[in-house]
A = this chain, B = another copy of it.
Amino acid sequence: MAKVDVGKKILSENDRVAAENRKLFDAAGALVLNFISSPGSGKTTLLEATLDRMPSDLKVLVIEGDVSTTRDLDRVKAHGATGVQINTGGGCHLSARMVAEVLPELNIADADIIFIENVGNLICPSTYDLGEDAKVVLLSTTEGDDKPMKYPSIFHESRLAILNKIDLLPHLDYDDTRAEREVSVLNADCDFLRLSARTGDGVDTWIEWITKRLEEKRS
């Protein structure tokens, strides 16, 4: 069927470009994390909190993906980030090609950490390799504790699941142990962290997770 053939061709072409991106990232020794979540789970707020607490000797770059607007890039720039915005103009995920096209605008060779914030979508971005070292999926306590099993693909693909907005737990009917259990059933190799990007609670543990991955990559 034409649809399937075109779909396969797109994914195989994406994998080819992702491998080229990965070569550039690896040559720089930079750790690249691809952030994926529903709209409004707090990816940008977590990036802001992360930028504020990141060890100052680490050079951080941010690639922001959105359907429309440069709002997220404006926000992380206000926290000192160097970065670039990709607007997909309706597209529901970033592709390796979109990332490849903005890399010349960034000084990759000097980078230690590169955060890629994907388009807010829990489904489509899970299929596309961008050349990252790891996908990181964000959940939020306000979304309901039943999400992992309902959107399994991204949890299969992620190295870490972050439960954000734990400061709101007292006001919600959210069972965080259920969410953690569902993630571990889907992917026993996926780590699980709880934090609040707004209050900063748990953010230090997340920064330790990042620096440990960076050490592993460079060892």
Contact = CB atoms under 8 A, between A and B. Distances in A.
Given A38-B38, A143-B40, A165-B142, A67 B152 contact: yes
Interface stretch (A17-25, A99-107, A108-116, A121-129): A121-129
Contact of A71 (B68, B140, B149): B149
Contacts of A142: 40, 140, 142-143, 165, 168
Interface residues of A, number: 39
Given A6-B3, A40-B38, A142-B140, A69 B120 contact: no
A155 to B, nearest CB: 11
Stoichiometry, as copies per complex, reads 2
A7 to B, nearest CB: 9
A124 B39 contact: no
A127 to B, nearest CB: 8
A58 interface: no
A150 B120 CA distance: 9
Interface of A: 2-3, 6, 9-10, 38-41, 66-69, 71, 90, 92, 119-124, 140, 142-144, 146-147, 149-153, 165, 168, 171-173, 198
